[in-house]
Every structure is written in structure tokens, then in C-alpha cells.
Structure 1
Amino acid sequence: MSDELDGKHGVQSLEVGMSILRAMVTGKRSMMLKDIAQAADMPPSKAHRYLVSLIRSGLVEQDRLTSRYDLGPFALNLGLVALDRVDRIRLGLSAIGDLRDLTNETVALAVWSDRGPVVVRWERPRRPITVNVLTGTSLSLLSSAAGRVFAAWLPEQQTEALLRAELESGRVPAGLATLDDARRLLAEVRARGVAVISSGYFARGVEAAAAPVFNFKNEINMSIALVGVEGTLDLLPHSPVLQALKEACDALSRRLGATLLPGVESGDHAT
């Protein structure tokens, strides 16, 4: 009977130790004891006792010169093993299937390639009139929602040549003529956390919204887009459809190890 109760309630000391590790992961760098205790919401004396055990297990190490604590070799090994076992595309396919079921809209998954964003899979909704998205389609950086997402969160040195080529071609939405125009648009996308395009889409009569998916390095890894016939998607800022899109991308980002999620302009974005 006691074993059953232990199984149901778990091991509290382990959960406390995990809260310390989570605090250290969120800290992004080596930390002093007082900072770890504050982040884990516990007295420094209690945090220190757990850190001693975590050091013995190899999950934490302490720099003798600075007295700062950081993740230890066993924690790093666990992370590498976990990353090796994560199949991002498989997880992405599952996410777009769930989002399609939730919204009953066409949902596409895009990744970055040497040619720019490319659709790797799409899910058709259960409705008579839909938008078909071809697997392998290369997306414009400025005339597609997923393209804007990649352009907004990738370092500019990685996208500048493609952006300039699109601008010079003239096949861009109205109001975009220069690289500075594109930068202002992409800054708005980063601030909002989602890209919405209801006119000027690269395919006539189509509108879309897309959000980023981040990996454990907090770098954009994929993008998920909702695509519909123009005038059929609810693209207002707080619409249930956009909320579902953001939540799906945030959940997938966390599954891939991301700790910083969009919605607020990041000072770490490279320009």
C-alpha cells in the first residue's frame, strides 16, 4: 500500500532538485547561490543542500574560483542524448495535424533551405472549399506568412540576399520598396510574434498567418502556417485561430527545448 502511495505522489525531494535545475537552465549562464535560490523560490541554505547532491551526481558543477554553479557533465550528456532522439519533423507533422483538427483550416509546415523557406508537409481541412499547398513549394520571404516569419527571426546576413532579390523583382506587397521597408515590416512581425498577410500574398485569393518554432538554442527551426481562401480566416489580433496557432508553435518550441518564446522584441536578434 505504501509503495502505491509513493508511486502516486512521487518523490518530493527529486521534484525540488528539478526546480533548481530548471532555474539554472533558465538563467542561461553560471549563477551564484543566491540567484539560484531566488529563481527556485527557496532559502539559500536549502538550495545549497540540494546543490551538493546535484554536484555529486554530475548534474551540477561549481567553479572554485568564482563559486558560481553551472550544469555539470552528466546534465550536458542528458541534453545531447535527448536532442539526438528528437525528430523535429515528426513532431512538426504531429503538431500540424492537431492544429488542423482544432481549427479546420489548411495547415502547413515549413523549414529553411538553401533556397529559403520550403513547405515540407500540409494538412487539408474537412471543408468543401480549401487551399491546396504543394509539398516542396518554395516560399517568398515577403509575400508569404511563413517566409516573413523566417526573415524576422533569422540573422539578416542569412536572408539579406534573398530579400534584396525579391525587392528588386518588384513582386512584393504594396508599400515594400526598400530594405528598410522590409526591416520595419519584420520588426512588427517579431513584436507581434506572428506574421499575418491578407493581401499581396504570392498566390492570388489566399491569406495566411504563420508563427515560428524554436529549438533548444532559441533559434528558429520551423514555421507553421494557417492558409485559407481570402476573407475566410479570422486574422484579428486576438482571434481564436491565431491564438491556437501561437499556442501550437509555443508548445512545439518547448518540446524542442526552447526557453525564449516570441511576442516581445528580442534584443538578441541579429541584424
Structure 2
Amino acid sequence: MRPLDATMSEDNGSGEDEAGGVQSVDTTVRLLSALVDVGTPLSLKAVAERAEMQPPKAHRYLVSLCRSGLAERDAITGGYRLGPLAVRMGLAAIRHLNVVREAGPTLASLRDELGFTAGLAVWGAAGPTFVRFEETNDALIISGRPGSVMPILTSSTGRVFGAYLARSLTGAFIERELAGAPHPGATPTGATQRMSMQDVEALFEDVRQHRMARVQGDLNPGLHGLSAPLFDHAGAIVGVITVMGSAGLIDTRREGRNASVLAARAEEVSRRMGWGP
């Protein structure tokens, strides 16, 4: 990699600000940020406007960024876009992302903030599978352990996966549940046997519309839950965060505080995974 040239340090002599940072680096980040999420190359004027700096200054930095490979100019339009080194850096960051690691601290925060058990599930070979819990002392939740597999249609966790995953992955599970196949740990309610595929599609559409699923005793009477999806850089679902509690204690209204806090925390995790709405 060729180092950024001396034009990066022209501002304010040493380039250091009062807070102990390096202004040239801050400026570089502003310019690179201006090129992120842009589908077509940007003109110098457009880059400068997005970075909130004068075009001559932006041009000096862009020259060095192009030399380093962090940016490049389109041969036809002359516009600027992220360069091959920036792309490699982005891919390297993605490879190091792990939804369990990124979401882990959020579960404990949710439990402490809301006072209810919080769990993280991923899609496994057997379907929606919890991989981590942060529990309260609620006796109804003591059966929840890492490795627990949830149904798709009668758990809020499963409904989120059903709403966002391809039917090629979920179809067989949905068909079995509609046929009334028993699910381990579930109290039979017969609810799924009364559902049609049209009902299933409407259920999933509702989840997508609100980016959240809720159940009130659908899986186990007396146990209510709220679930929100976690997305990666490509917008694909990589996990689901669920908060759960006893009926009469947990508020599962979508306009309630629990739903609002859960949605905000799930979005924070998704952003750390590279997702942008």
C-alpha cells in the first residue's frame, strides 16, 4: 500500500487538533464517507458537498486517496468512487463480523433495561435455534436454553425468520406445522391447523411491515414474546432478538416501550453488522 502523501497534512500545520486527533485523518474519513452507499461515481463538486468542504481541498485529498487505492476515478465520467483498497478493507471487516459476538452485549442490556429475558436465535439445520439467553428469574422461562429450537408459525422468533428467509429454506417446516406436526416444548393449541397458506402469508407480511413479531401464548400459554430481526451488510437476516415474559407482566404492544426499545437495540446491532436501511 502506498502511504497517503504530504498533501494530507497541509491543514493546521501539524494536523493535530485540540482533542488529540489528527485533522487530516478526520478529513479523509469525511471524504470516504461521502463515497459510501453511492451507486454511481460522483463529481468533485458532489463529493465536496457531501463531505462539507471546498472543492479545491477535496481535490487535494482525493488525489492522494486515488494514489493509495482508497478511491478511484471513473475512466469515462471522471467521477470518484471507492477504490479497490477500500473494497478490500470492507470485505475484511465483514469477514470478522459475528452476529453472536455483536449481539451478545445487547441481550444483557435489554434484560436490564426492560426486566425481561432476552434471547438470540439464528437459523440452524432444525430451524430457528436459540444460541444465547440473558435470563431473569421468571419461572416460565427456565426451559429456555441455548440449542432450543422454535416453531415458525407459533413463536415470535420463528415468525421473523419466516417473514425474511427464502421459502426454499422455510417451506418444509411451515408445511409440517400446518399439518399439525408436534413441536418439542410446545403446548398443542391447534392454532396452526386452522391456518391456511393465505393466513401464513398475511402473518409474514405483517411482520415485514412492522419489522417485528409478537405472540401472546401462541406457543406456550402464559408466555408472551416480541422479536426483531438482525440484518447484515447485504440486508439478509442473520439473527433474531427476542424478549419474553409472563402474561400480565410484559407489554407486547407494538406501540409500547418494550417494542420501541427492542427495535432500537436490534437496529444498533444490524448497523454494527454493516446494515443500512
Question: TM-score by structure 2 length?
Answer: 0.81
2:41 maps to 1:31:
yes
Asked if 1:217 corresponds to 2:227, the answer is: no
Whether the aligned pair in 2 keeps the contact of 1:24 and 1:30 (CA below 8 Å) is no
For 1:11 and 1:17, how far apart are their aligned partners in 2?
Answer: 10
Match of 2:105 in 1: 94
Q: Is the 8 A contact 2:111 2:117 kept in 1?
A: yes
CA shift for structure 1 position 176? 5.9
Matches within 5 A, 1:138-217: 138-169=149-180, 173=191, 177-200=195-218, 202-217=219-234
- Does the residue aligned with 2:158 lie in a helix, a strand or coil? helix
Higher alpha-carbon deviation: 9-18 or 68-77? 9-18
Give the fraction of aligned pairs with identical amino acids, expressed as a percent.
32
Question: Structure 1 residues 150-159 or 202-211, which shifts more?
Answer: 150-159
Once residues 179 and 45 of structure 1 are traced to their aligned partners in structure 2, the CA distance between those partners, rounded to angstroms, is: 60
Letter in 2 for 1:182: V
Partner of 1:52 in structure 2?
Answer: 63
> Does the residue aligned with 1:95 lie in a helix, a strand or coil?
helix
- Residues 231/245 of structure 1: CA separation in 2 closer, same or farther (3 Å cut): same
Query: Is residue 2:267 matched to residue 1:250?
Result: yes
Give the direction of change, closer, same or farther, for the CA distance of 1:43–1:143 in structure 2 (3 Å limit). farther
Q: CA deviation at 1:65?
A: 2.4
Structure-to-structure mapping, 1:110-129, within 5 angstroms: 110-125=121-136, 127=137, 129=139
Unaligned ranges ≥5, structure 1? 261-271
Amino acid in the other structure paired with 1:187: E
Change (3 A) 1:60 1:3: closer
Alpha-carbon displacement from aligned partner over 1:72-93 (angstroms, at most 9, x marks no partner): 1211222233233333312222
Partners of 1:173 and 1:199 within 8 A in 2 = no
| Among 72, 95, 120, the residue aligned to 1:61 | 72
Cα 1:32/1:11, change in 2 over 3 Å: same
C-alpha distance in 2 between matches for 1:176 and 1:79: 47
| Structure 1 residues 181 and 55: alpha-carbon distance in aligned structure 2, compared to 1, 3 A threshold | same
Q: Secondary structure at the match of 2:122?
A: strand
Q: Which amino acid aligns with 1:233?
A: I
What is the CA-CA distance between 1:250 and the residue it aligns to? 1.0
Secondary structure of the structure 2 residue equivalent to 1:6: coil
Paired residues in the alignment total 256
Matched-pair contact (CA < 8 Å) for 1:217–1:258: yes
Shift of 1:31: 2.7
Whichever residue aligns with residue 120 of structure 1, its letter is V
Q: Which residue of 2 aligns with 1:269?
A: none
Q: What one-letter code is carried by the residue in structure 2 that aligns with 1:197? A: V
- Aligned residue for 1:26, secondary structure, equals coil
Question: TM-score scaled by structure 1?
Answer: 0.82
Deviations 1:124-154 (A, max 9, x none): 12x4645221221111111111111111122
Give the letter for the 2:32 counterpart: L
Alignment-derived partner of residue 267 in structure 1? none
Tell me which moved more, 83-92 or 203-212.
Answer: 83-92
Larger radius of gyration: 2
SS at match of 2:224: strand
Per the alignment, residue 185 of structure 2 pairs with: none
Cα distance change of structure 1 residues 11 and 178 upon mapping to structure 2, 3 Å threshold: same
C-alpha spacing 1:83/1:179, structure 2 compared with 1 (3 Å): same
Give ranges in structure 2 of 5+ residues lacking alignment. 1-12, 182-188
Are the structure 2 counterparts of residues 117 and 9 from structure 1 closer, same or farther at C-alpha, using a change threshold of 3 Å? same
